[in-house]
Amino acid sequence: MRQSTDSYLTAKAQARRKANGQMGIFAREHIAKDEIVSVWGGEIYTREQLTQLPEPYQRYVMQVEDDFFLGGEGEDDTNYFNHSCEPNVGFAGQMVLLAMRDIARDEELCFDYAMCDGSAYDEFDCECGAPTCRKRVRGDDWQKPELWERYRGYFLPYLQRRIDRLREQNKNDS
């Protein structure tokens, strides 16, 4: 796999094919908690522009604000971070992924798409196999209060602002 010039992936990780044939990102060596594992680069697309992208490239975009998405039309190793309902990486800002805990060699690096997706552009049945698996990944998963606590500090900023507004609204409704 090639490393794109507009994104960064730590030398401690690599993209490789999993047993099921899908690609993933795996630790080549121990990664410490709070270590930066990736910084994404690419093009910014509006919601309207996103719908104009060829379908294969729509899979490799990430929502970074209410109506803006980050992605590109090229292959990039950083495209292969998969979803898990029990993630080991989370967000620091809009484009940086860091380890939420120590990560062992050969462990797959995954984040919960609830940390970044706030709309229904990429919903699917989940097969992560985690004990806490939600079975379906939806664009409104970020609204689940149990995830607010579990991922505190790891949501993208635009979702954290939404969560803060919901918390305030819930407090005022009480």
pLDDT in tens, 142-170: 999 999 999 999 999 999 999 999 989 88
CA 83 to centroid of chain Cα atoms = 7
Tell me the mean pLDDT in the region 44-72. Answer: 86
pLDDT-derived band at 136 (thresholds 50, 70, 90) equals: very high
Residues 6+ apart with CB under 8 A from 92: 36, 98, 154
Question: Is the CB of residue 59 less than 8 Å from the CB of residue 23?
Answer: no
Asked whether the predicted pLDDT for residue 58 surpasses 50, the reply is yes
Top-confidence residue, 121 or 105: 105
Which residues of the chain form beta strands (DSSP E)? 8-9, 13-17, 23-27, 36-39, 43-46, 62-65, 68-71, 82-83, 89-92, 96-99, 110-111, 124-125, 136-137
pLDDT score recorded for residue 162: 94
Considering the entire predicted model, what is its pTM?
0.88
Q: The tokens of 88 are what? A: 């080991």
- CATH level 3 topology of 8-173: Beta-clip-like (2.170.270)
The β-bridge relationship of strands 82-83 and 110-111 is parallel
CA distance 110 to 83: 5
pLDDT-derived band at 2 (thresholds 50, 70, 90) equals: very low
pLDDT score recorded for residue 5: 54
What are the domain boundaries of the chain?
A: 8-173
